A and B are shown apart, each in its own frame.
Chain A
């Protein structure tokens, strides 16, 4: 049931663009058809994974792994993220395993416009967030 919903959303997304005309490329990511991968044009480095269940539509983007965080600044970064969380529109920080993520959730009853808005904001927020916490990350090797 949930798979059909996800496929329908993917179809709707593929027929739309973001408000500034940016294209999205969407593909089903896994064999079980549970995770869709959305790539915003020119920002392919930070794909957005989308899943749907009865409770919510979840959009997740990976920021970086623990290995990229400066060990001395780890606690300070966590606190900075907690403080920032409220002021970031529609998205929030979290962590899955050893990966820092940013995510947004919507009602499964949301409209395609709301989903597009969500994706657009999440994509912007990811770039802003990495910029904001870059001081806490290790120098790129």
Chain B
């Protein structure tokens, strides 16, 4: 389960502000309380990854995924 979606770190990347990364993650459904399951990993270095977020499949790179903080679900 997602416990926190962070801004994209302290560094603005390449015209993409840290806040923009957070907003895009939010728009794709990465929001606190959502359930996340990693489905697939890319062919090279396991990047990008495909995850299921509350029933929706999303592909994203690990760099962005690092802004999503997860906690294991209480059994």
| A joins B in a complex | no
